[in-house]
Amino acid sequence: MKHLRQAGIVKSFGFSCGYLFQLVFRLIFTQKNWFRLLESHKAADLPGKDTVYRFLNYPKFAWRRFLLALSVFTITKVSRLTRANHTKVLIVDDSSFYRDRSKKVELLAHCFDHAKKRHYKGFRMLTLGWSDGTTFMPVDFSLLSSSKEKTRINGIDSTIDKRCSGYKRRVEALQTAPEQIPNMVKRALDSGIEASYVLMDSWFTQQPLIRSLADQGIHVIGMVKPTNQRYRVGSQWVGLKTLYRFAKPVIGYKGVLRSIRTQMANEVPVKVVFIQNRNKQSEWLAILSTDCTLTEQEIIRTYGMRWDIELFFKATKSLLKLQKGIKADPMIS
C-alpha cells in the first residue's frame, strides 16, 4: 500500500485504490474475469464495474514508478539471502503482445515476431529485469508501438492530458527500444538496485547502445551476429566472421572455440568469445563482453542468466492473462 501511495495511485473518495488493486490482482488466481465475478453470488459485496474500469483507465497513475519501488523493496529482501559476491545482473528483452483481432486499440501497430517469423497486430513488451541467477524480478517496462506512421494503425488519444504519466508512456511507445533502454537502466541503478552487467540478445547488442550503457558505468554482455559492426585487429577494421579467424583457439573447454580482445568502432574495449552452436555444430555463436577481465567460462555462465527473462515472458503469457482494453492504460496496469 505504501508503494501505491508513493506512485500517486490514490483516490479521494469511494473504494480505496488499495482495495481495488487487490481485487483486480486476485482475479487471475480465481480463474475468473471481472464480468464473470459480477455474475457470481459475491457481486453484492463488490464495487460496480465502472469503478474498476475508471481505476484501470486513469492515466495519471504512475504504474512504472509503483513497479520499480515494489521491486526494489523485494530485491532488498532477496539479496539478504545470497552471498555478497554473487553475480547480479539486469536483463533486457522484448516479447510480442498479440492483438490480432483488435481494430480500435490505442497505438495498435503492425509488428514482426522474429521468433515465429510472422507479422501480427499488437505491441512489443520491452522489459528490464533483475536476476541473481535464482530469482528474477521485473523492474521496468514499456509497451512499444511503432515509430513509423505507415505501420501504426491507431494514434494517441487526443483527450489525454499531456502533463500526466499516461501521456508520457504513450510518447515513449513511439520510440525505439534502444532509445529507451539507457533510461530504464539509469532508473534501476539510481533506485539502488545492485547489478554488474546488462544482459541482452543480438537484437540490442549494438554499438550506440553499448556506448551509452558503458558511459553509465555498467558492463554489457550480449550475443552478437555478423552485421556491419567492425572490430579493430591491429590496424585493420574487420567484421565478425573475419574476427573469428583472428581469434585464438581455446583449449580444454568443451564448446568454447575461440576468444579475442578487441575494440569496437565506438572505442569501447570488448572481449568476444566464440562458442559452438548446439543446434548446428558446424556453426558458431559469438558472445561479447565489455568486461575484458572475465574468463571465457565466466562470460558464458553470466550470459546464461539471460534465460530467466524468457521464463518470465512465458509465465506472463500462459499464467497471467494480460489485461485487455482499447486504451493504453488498462494494458499497462
What residues make up the domain containing 24? 1-57
CATH of the domain at 165: 3.90.350.10
Find the mean pLDDT for residues 47-53.
85
Structural domains in the chain (count)? 2
pLDDT at 149: 86
Same domain for 32 and 118, yes or no, is: no
pLDDT at 248: 94
Band (36; pLDDT cuts 50, 70, 90) = confident
Q: Which of the two residues, 2 and 44, has the higher pLDDT score? A: 2
pLDDT at 327: 65
What is the C-alpha separation between 151 and 264, in angstroms, rounded?
33
pLDDT at 272: 96
Same domain for 209 and 304, yes or no, is: yes
Among 11, 31, 57, the domain-final residue is 57
In tens, the pLDDT along 131-166 reads 998 899 999 999 999 988 899 999 998 889 999 999
Contact, 201 vs 178, CB < 8 A?
no
Q: Specify the residue for cell string 553470466.
A: 302
Find the mean pLDDT for residues 271-277.
95
Band (333; pLDDT cuts 50, 70, 90) = low
Helix (H, G, I), strand (E, B) or coil at 16: coil
Find the mean pLDDT for residues 259-265.
95
pLDDT at 131: 95
Handedness of CA 52, 58, 62, 63 (dihedral sign): positive
pLDDT at 254: 86
Same domain for 223 and 130, yes or no, is: yes
Please enumerate in sequence order all residues whose Cβ is within 8 A of that of 127, keeping only pairs 6 or more positions apart, or say none. Answer: 92, 93, 94, 95, 138, 140, 141, 309, 312, 313
In tens, the pLDDT along 95-127 reads 998 888 889 889 999 999 888 889 999 999 999
Same domain for 168 and 283, yes or no, is: yes
Phi first, then psi, for residue 178 (nearest 5°) are: -60, -25
Query: DSSP code of 92?
Result: E
Same domain for 43 and 71, yes or no, is: no
C-alpha grid cell for residue 122? 499488437
Same domain for 3 and 76, yes or no, is: no
Same domain for 7 and 90, yes or no, is: no
Band (12; pLDDT cuts 50, 70, 90) = confident
pLDDT at 321: 61
Same domain for 43 and 97, yes or no, is: no
pLDDT at 324: 58
Q: Which of the two residues, 319 and 128, has the higher pLDDT score? A: 128
Same domain for 206 and 261, yes or no, is: yes
Residues in the chain: 333
In tens, the pLDDT along 182-211 reads 999 999 999 999 999 999 999 999 999 999
In tens, the pLDDT along 292-328 reads 999 999 999 999 999 999 999 988 887 766 655 566 6
C-alpha grid cell for residue 188? 534501476
Same domain for 103 and 211, yes or no, is: yes
Among 40, 57, 74, the domain-final residue is 57
pLDDT at 57: 87
Among 28, 57, 86, the domain-final residue is 57
Our measurement of the distance from residue 143's CA atom to the centroid of its chain's CA atoms, rounded to an integer in Å, reads 10
Contact, 93 vs 125, CB < 8 A?
no
Is residue 208 exposed (0-12), middle (13-18) or buried (19+ Cβ within 10 Å)? exposed
Same domain for 23 and 160, yes or no, is: no
Same domain for 213 and 294, yes or no, is: yes
pLDDT at 331: 67
Share of the chain above pLDDT 70, in %: 95
Which residue type, as a one-letter code, is found at position 209? L
